[in-house]
Structure 1
Amino acid sequence: MAHPVAGVILAGGTASRMGGGDKGLLTIGGRTLLQRVIDRLSPQVEAMVLNANGDPRRFSAAGLDVVADPLPEPVGPLGGILAGMRWASARHPGLHHIVTVAADTPFFPGDLVARLWRAQVKATDIVLARSLGRVHPVFGLWPTDLAADLELYIMNGGNRRLQAYAGERHAVILADFPAGPAADPFFNINTPDDLKQVRDRIEGKER
């Protein structure tokens, strides 16, 4: 079920451990990793946008708006979150939250948004996902009203880690997700070996 949030797919990384390029454009079982992420997120949100830097035309097949980091220098996922907040406020002013996901994590939960949404106590809370005792700050629920505060934090040289921003300045709630040592839904592709594992897992099921 879709919730009143905008989904933001973060694809602004450099994929240095994969030799560069866009991990989201890697093909697994005849479909790109990005399309798999879109298909997983789409039923959970009311709108979606892709955050990526550089020429947006390389993502034209995805059929999404593409927004770049709105700052003069790369600041990691914080820049993508800020871009998503600004996009949601401008294009979908009735939606007051965004949920962020990574473009290289194809197994994230089908109830990600529902669990994050239920975990919030106040509309101003930031909610981050956790599994196996590990926090996954790229998978979070963020109020769009925090955009000005986040931009000020970045411009003033704040710590670029997502948890540092969230924990230092705001109330943070952690939402726990079930996982097993061999089946963490937040497993992401960082290396060629990770890609092989994901291909074996997905292509084995889809044969």
Structure 2
Amino acid sequence: MEFAAVVLAGGRARRLGGVDKVLLPVGGRTLLDRTLDAVADADPLVVVGPPRPTERPVRWTAEDPPGGGPLAGLQAGLALLPPDTRTVAVLAGDHPHLTPATVDRLRTALRAAPPAGGAVLVDSDDRPQWLVGLWRASALRDAVPADARDRPLRAVLDPLAPVRVPASGLEASDVDTPEDLREARATDG
């Protein structure tokens, strides 16, 4: 179990009027399926959120209690990974422009920096995109507190001293607003 993935797909999408945003289509495919494509070689592939139709088989789980935030979702996803998992991609399910090449660049950066706990994509303003990263599973397990509910993800991941990997093109973009969705659809190539 060299490589696993945890995709967080349980948010409320308030800025999108509460729609199930990971099921919104971009280029004829859902945001969730597009994100899952980026980690198609992960085993297991875990999605945290309510079960929905997907094009590839995944293992479903949910944070407890529901609505506990991204860190609680990560905790729930980590609980389904085999103990011998070495690296884990942690992604939000709303990234329309991620590709396997994105994850490969993160993997390469992490291999080149043995002391780092992970590798995280940074946007054009050098801001870490905490939900586009590849992490050493042991470092994540050690860092996630027992009570993860409503705690900031950044506060747990930043101390792992991740390698910062500059985003290429639009791969750091996500869909949080109607404008983000319009842009994703307009730039789908």
Q: TM-score, normalised by structure 2?
A: 0.83
| Structure 1 position 14, deviation (Å) | 0.6
1:46 to 25, 43, 46: 43
Corresponding pairs, count = 185
| 1:147-166 correspondence to structure 2 within 5 Å | 147=141, 149-152=143-146, 154=148, 160-166=151-157
Residue in 1 that maps onto 2:70 = 77
Give the whole-Å Cα distance in 2 for the aligned partners of 1:191 and 1:154.
Answer: 26
Give the whole-Å Cα distance in 2 for the aligned partners of 1:124 and 1:85.
Answer: 19
Q: Tell me if structure 2 keeps the 8 A contact 1:128–1:172.
A: no
| Structure 1 position 105, deviation (Å) | 0.7
Give the whole-Å Cα distance in 2 for the aligned partners of 1:196 and 1:13.
Answer: 20
| Structure 1 position 191, deviation (Å) | 1.1
Partner of 2:146, secondary structure, is helix
Partner of 1:152, secondary structure, is coil
| Structure 1 position 190, deviation (Å) | 0.9
* Structure 2: unaligned runs, 5 residues or longer: none
**Following superposition, which runs of at least 4 residues in structure 1 exceed 6 angstroms of deviation?**
none
Partner of 1:200, secondary structure, is helix
Give the whole-Å Cα distance in 2 for the aligned partners of 1:33 and 1:60.
Answer: 10
Partner of 2:98, secondary structure, is coil
1:131 matched to 2:123: yes
Give 1 or 2: higher helix fraction.
1
| Structure 1 position 9, deviation (Å) | 1.3
* Structure 1: unaligned runs, 5 residues or longer: none
Q: TM-score, normalised by structure 1?
A: 0.76
Q: Tell me if structure 1 keeps the 8 A contact 2:9–2:92.
A: yes
2:179 to 163, 188, 193: 193
Give the whole-Å Cα distance in 2 for the aligned partners of 1:66 and 1:46.
Answer: 13
Identity percentage over the alignment?
29
Q: Tell me if structure 2 keeps the 8 A contact 1:11–1:24.
A: yes
Give the whole-Å Cα distance in 1 for the aligned partners of 2:176 and 2:164.
Answer: 24
- Greater Rg over alpha carbons, structure: 1
Give the whole-Å Cα distance in 2 for the aligned partners of 1:73 and 1:37.
Answer: 22
Change (3 A) 1:178 1:138: closer
